[in-house]
Amino acid sequence: MWPADNESSTRWPVYTRGNIGEVYPEVVLPLEWDLAGPPSELGWREGAAEIGFVTASDFDPDEDMTFIGVFGGYAYFNASIMRLLGVRTPGVAVDLIDQQFLGESDVPPYLPRPGDRNLAATGRLIRSALSTMLAKDVPLLIDMKLRADAQIAVAPNCDAPTDELWSYVKRSMSDNWAFFIRSHVVNSTKAMIASGQLTDLCQARFGDPNLAIVLTTGIGEVRSASPAQEMWRLANDTSEDRFDQEFADFLLQYGHRGPNEFSVAGKDWAAYPEIALAAIELLRGANPDRAPQAQQQQARLNREAALADAHGRMGWQKKRLDAAIAKTALWSRAREASKDEVIRAVQPVRHAVLEMFRRTAERGGVPDTIGPMLLTRIEFEQYLVEPASMVDRIESRREQYQTLREHEPPFAFSGVQPPVSEWVPRSADHGSVEVGQVLTGAAGSPGVAQGRARVLLDPSDPSALQPGDILVAPLTDPSWTPLFLSAEAVVVEVGAALSHSMIVSRELGIPCVVGVALAASTIPDGALIEVDGQAGTVRILEVPEPSSPQN
């Protein structure tokens, strides 16, 4: 077993990479999970209880981890217990929860069991739904900001003693992490409730659930889109003599973002500014029509036209539609804003960890930042005292880590995860698509676009993406957002209605389809494809000729 692995739940056996893959896309590192895993589980339990869809009796007292877990080194989310939200909410089906939250049709189907229905939970859920649809603002975001500000304010300076840095890291994770996760769970679930209400209304009144996507495009003030908008300005509207100062200002405001940004091991832009600079360079001299302001304006026009048509068909009930749209917009913004506060809070923790890594490297430890994260918390404390004593263990574990990275974990499983020996290597040939073939996923952001598929696996090096290309990725977190601006459309293997890629693509007015299984493995780089973001389809128009073997 990987040191971060947990035992799977016996009562709630179905797990999926859906949703959690955006937060933990890579192999989960042991030190990180020792710090973040238990408070993350606590935050999920508290958030779900606050919404009302779980009770204390739903949890096995002998199971420390139920909502989330690490299996074969990868983080998974418990689909079984999340589906109680659909079972226990009147008028909501399990399929809707899968669509809104998990985004994967191949997750093992829900099988009803005694005890799944609970009248007390149903009553609490009705109250939560009412409060969601009646809300005018989100006070919880203020609480999150204040807690993040407080954690940042007491962060030790980089020249503080090592024991002070380590104490800060442990205290921050034990005292605050559960609060941040609970708050994000509450905001995300309310976003799902609001979005589900709008989707149901569009299905019932117009026979088109995907109309909800058009009606929530270009809503404005989506915090995860702001860094990309500012990167565009730096790339195209900033003079050379002002760039250094304005880029420094950019890092002060957005430097906490970056790849794998929930992780203590993530590479935020403040610590690794070259990643942000590469994204800005990609946007230099781009077609002005791709400017965020222009695309957002077009998205708003499309939304207003669709809304006018819907109003005409709703008649005297149009205010009901307006309310559903407004609440979906409110809670979608809240979800992205709460994620931003979580990431703001983790940045000083991450920087304290990086400083400890630098010091241990100077005293005989390993020179990279991944190596120490391969240790458990107890092992790491020994490493702080005598770095050389743990080098052999780090290198041994690094081999296992690399093996896990080279294989694709199953997207979902029930009961026990298949052993790594049965996983498909990432280098395996999954076959290819044919001209005329249509790949289906979930509608993400409306619009139709054609372009060459550019398959990217890492946002840190976007140089292969050229103007007119369509970005194809296994999954995306907010660090991918700047790349969206240079793409004609976005295709993602993993995603659901509340995926970051969906929300940000709608804000930026970029066609997007998510949940296209094996898209990054089967669509050849350079293939000509057509993306229909409202239909949720990817059509293969032309496949490049295979390269001739080298002599």
Is the pLDDT at 474 greater than 70? The verdict is: yes
Crossing angle of helices 240-254 and 226-236, in 10° steps, is 170
Which helix or strand (DSSP H or E) is residue 492 part of? strand 490-492
61: tokens are 């007292």
Say how far apart CA 36 and CA 177 lie, in whole Å.
Answer: 7
Q: Are 458 and 475 in contact (CB under 8 A)?
A: no
Q: What pTM was estimated for this model as a whole?
A: 0.91
Say how far apart CA 473 and CA 459 lie, in whole Å.
Answer: 9
Section 465-491 average pLDDT: 86
Is the pLDDT at 371 greater than 50? The verdict is: yes
Q: Which of 218, 223, 221, 225 lies closest to 307, judged by CA?
A: 218
Section 211-232 average pLDDT: 90
Is the pLDDT at 549 greater than 80? The verdict is: no
Q: Which of 357, 384, 353 lies closest to 36, judged by CA?
A: 353
User: What is the model's pLDDT at position 547?
Assistant: 61
Which residue reads 């508290």 in tokens? 46
* Beta bridge mates, 265: none
71: tokens are 């299996």
Is the pLDDT at 484 greater than 90? The verdict is: no
Task: Tell me the pLDDT band of 224, cut-offs 50, 70 and 90.
Answer: confident
User: What is the model's pLDDT at position 211?
Assistant: 93
Which pLDDT tens digit goes with each residue over 319-337?
999 999 999 999 999 999 9
Which pLDDT tens digit goes with each residue over 279-321?
899 888 777 888 888 888 888 999 999 999 999 998 888 999 9
Which residue reads 């139709």 in tokens? 448
Mark 158-188 as b/e (b = at least 16 C-beta within 10 Å): eeeeeeebbebbeebbeebbbbbbbbbbbbb
209: tokens are 């659930």
Q: Which of 31, 1, 28, 2 lies closest to 360, judged by CA?
A: 31
Is the pLDDT at 105 greater than 80? The verdict is: no
Percent of the chain residues topping a pLDDT of 90: 69
Say how far apart CA 305 and CA 68 lie, in whole Å.
Answer: 42
Q: Are 264 and 343 in contact (CB under 8 A)?
A: no
Pair type for strands 470-473 and 490-492:
parallel
Give the DSSP letter string of 147-178.
Answer: HHHHHHHTPPPTTS-HHHHHHHHHHHHHHHHH
Query: What superfamily in CATH does domain 438-542 come from?
Result: Phosphohistidine domain (3.50.30.10)
Q: Are 71 and 85 in contact (CB under 8 A)?
A: no
Q: Are 346 and 150 in contact (CB under 8 A)?
A: no
Which residue reads 């229909």 in tokens? 532
Torsion of CA 174, 341, 261, 282, to 10 degrees: -170
50: tokens are 């606050």
User: What is the model's pLDDT at position 551?
Assistant: 43
Give the DSSP letter string of 345-377.
Answer: HHHHHHHHHHHHHHHHHHTTS-SSSSGGGGS-H
387: tokens are 């770095």
Least confident of 324-333, 339-348, 480-489, 526-535: 480-489
User: What is the model's pLDDT at position 455?
Assistant: 93
User: What is the model's pLDDT at position 497?
Assistant: 66
Section 432-436 average pLDDT: 90
Q: Average per-residue pLDDT in the chain?
A: 91
Domain boundaries, the chain: 14-195+348-396, 438-542
Give the DSSP letter string of 13-34.
Answer: -EEESTTGGGT--SPPPHHHHH
User: What is the model's pLDDT at position 104?
Assistant: 55
